[in-house]
Amino acid sequence: MKSKELQQLVLSKHESGDSIAKIFRDLNGAISYDTVRRWCNMIEKTGAIQLSAPPGPPRIIRTKQMFEKVKSRLKQKKKVSSRILAHAISISRTSVRRILRDDRQYHAYKMRVVPLLEGVFPLVILGKESMNHERYIKNVLPVALKYGNEMFGNDWIFQQENATAHTHILTQQWSQEHFPMFIDKDHWPQNSPDLNPLDYCIWDEFVSHINWNNIQLKSKDMQEVGKAKFENGDGPTKIYRDLAGVVSLQTIKLWIKKVRNTGSIELSSPPGRPRTARTKANILKAVFIEFYKRVKFANWVLNNYTKSDITRWLFSDEKYFDLNGICNNQNDRIWAISREEADKRVAIYETTKFPVKVMVRLGVYSEGLSAQVIFEDGPMDTQRYIDEVLPIALECGNEMLGEHCTYQQDGARPHIHYFSQKWSIDHFPSFISKDRCPPNSPDLCTFDYSSWNELGKLMNWKKITTEELLIQEIKHSVKKIEKEEILNSVNDFTKWLRIIKETGGEYVR
């Protein structure tokens, strides 16, 4: 409700004889108790609620004009984060988030990655009862016939596996009479899940997108259900079937034994042996060692290289690009009022199984990018890295940076192999060895925190349909990366090092 409507409501309730406390409760916290009391005092003195001006100074940031700017920016198809939005309209990130969350009631929804399908049979839910040929003929086959005719007309083939309900004589007869064509039981081989797309692909994708946290019973709830069913006379096998395999038959038998002996299911400790390797102490030790290596690397670079020295570093990395495009479902958020509205505004990202992909290798330094190397066939191994990548990196480094070039690479296996390290020692003026570079540190690679993202945003993914077009678009988009973005990414490297040093090795977020 607007402020004026609330004032009229308080006025009418006060004139009806309601107390201040009752008015506050009826408004369910829409305004504070002190405000209700102040308004009631005004009514008693003047007979009306007269607010000369809103309390506090006038708004200069969260104004109606700023709301419209934010709203129009979010309507654009290009995804935008709160940080980028704040920079675009020249206000703080905190103000942007207040406008989005408090004023517009928006939430940041993650992108949902779903399989790209040309057509899916309508979902038919048959309940808890088992499938027999009568239910199959009555509830499933007519829907399949209707959907097939709508999608394909009179020229299509219906396929089904060799389940008992499918191979029944009446099912086969119904299919023969109604479908334009179908694979009968004599032609379909038995025990062949690898010939059914649902078995080898679709069911797994379907299950992966179900939010099981909303529907699965907790352990305590399952114990109560098992106990209640046993007390009603159900045996362990029936309880196991009713729970649909959520817990094993052996666990149900153990619970029943405890109910018989003690009258309840009391698990004193988790089943199985105690952990001896993956203990909390060992996990913390591994994390501490990893953070220690990151701090050690940051100290070494900051003590031995100046900011101008780092501008002569040649950073390198490899990345796969495929026809599915790039989607970061953690960072690519859609601001919307509801999940349904977010889905309408491209919050669903469709992907295909096993898309065509190529590997791209790039180098970056403060003044620009090195020549790209694109691998169309096969993965990267040590020999290929030495033969096809390192010579190009050496040539580009000598041309762009001269004899003071320092070559940097991450901890990928071909990079840290003995022969790769030896080749680098023999040929590069200087390079960061595997003993120096900390593992699992994408925030220390300019490509991972900047350059790859810039390249992905510049590519026109709508027109990429083949491997040839993908390679052409990569080559074209590399040339469009602005020099300022490259310089900023290299300058940010020293900032990240200082943050890592100050935070004791924490990841830069």
Task: Copy the structure tokens of residue 249.
Answer: 């038959």
Structure confidence at residue 383 (pLDDT): 93
Cα–Cα distance, 36 to 76 (Å, whole number): 42
Considering the domain boundaries, does residue 360 fall inside one?
yes
* SS3 state at 27: coil
Instruction: Say if residue 315 is in the same domain as residue 448.
Output: yes
Q: Say whether both 303 and 411 belong to one domain.
A: yes
The mean pLDDT value for 57-85 works out to 82
Q: Indicate if 223 and 197 belong to the same structural domain.
A: no
Q: How far is CA 159 from CA 2, 116, 148, 199, in A?
A: 60, 21, 11, 13
Asked, for residue 123, whether it belongs to a domain, the answer is no
For residue range 93-102, what is the model confidence (pLDDT) as tens digits? 899 889 888 8
Residue 139 to residue 342: CA distance in whole angstroms: 34
Specify the pLDDT at position 174: 92
C-alpha closest to that of 447 among 413, 412, 473: 412
319 and 404 fall within a common domain:
yes
Q: Is the confidence at residue 12, as pLDDT, over 80?
A: yes
Domain that holds residue 198: 133-208
Whether 226 has a pLDDT exceeding 90, the answer reads no
Distance CA 232, CA 252 (A): 15
Spatial contact of 401 and 370, defined as CB atoms under 8 Å apart: no
Of 192, 208, 224, which residue is a domain's last?
A: 208
Distances, alpha carbon 395 to alpha carbons 363, 392, 486, 488, in Å: 11, 5, 20, 24
> Are residues 317 and 391 part of one domain?
yes
Determine the average pLDDT of the residues in 251-278. 79
Angstrom distance (rounded) from CA 76 to CA 113: 21
CA distance 168 to 173: 9
270 confidence band (pLDDT: 50, 70, 90): low
Q: Say if 270 falls within a structural domain.
A: no
Integer Cα distance of 439 and 293 in angstroms = 8
Structure tokens that stand for 268 in this block: 């004193």
Question: Which range among 69-73, 79-83, 269-273, 337-341 shows the weakest confidence by mean pLDDT?
Answer: 269-273
pLDDT of amino acid 421: 94
| 489, 437: one domain | yes
Segment 156-172 mean pLDDT: 88
pLDDT-based confidence at 237, cuts 50/70/90?
Answer: confident
Whether pLDDT at 213 is above 60: no
What pLDDT, on a 0 to 100 scale, did the predictor assign at position 301?
A: 93
Cβ count within 10 A of residue 182: 20
Task: Identify which of 496, 74, 112, 506 has the alpha carbon closest to the alpha carbon of residue 330.
Answer: 112
Do 141 and 98 lie in one domain? The reply is no
Please check the confidence at residue 86 and state whether its pLDDT lies above 60.
yes
Q: What is the CA radius of gyration of the chain?
A: 33
Q: Is the pLDDT of residue 130 over 70?
A: yes
The residues pairing with 335 across neighbouring beta strands, listed in sequence order, are: 108
The first and second tokens of residue 141, run together, are 């086959």
Predicted pLDDT of residue 30: 81
pLDDT of residue 358: 92
Residue 268 has pLDDT above 70, yes or no: no
Q: In terms of domains, do 294 and 428 share one?
A: yes
- Counting the structural domains of the chain, the total is 5
Residue 452 domain-assigned (yes or no): yes
Instruction: Kindly tell me if the per-residue pLDDT of 62 is higher than 90.
Output: no
